[in-house]
Structure 1
Amino acid sequence: MNTVIKRILGMATPAFSDSGRQVNRLPVEQVRESLQALLHDCRCMRSQRVLYKINVAQTPADLWLLRSDLHQCIAQTHSQSEAAERINSLIEVFEGWLPAGQLLRI
Structure 2
Amino acid sequence: MKKSKFRHGDIFAVPLPDGTHLPGRIMLDIYGCLKKRLFPEDSPLPGLGRAVAVEMYSRPITNLEFQKSEILIPGAYVDNDELGNGWPIIGNNPVDPKTVGFPETLIGRS
Question: TM-score, normalised to structure 2's length?
Answer: 0.24
Higher relative strand content: 2
Question: TM-score, normalised to structure 1's length?
Answer: 0.24
Higher relative helix content: 1
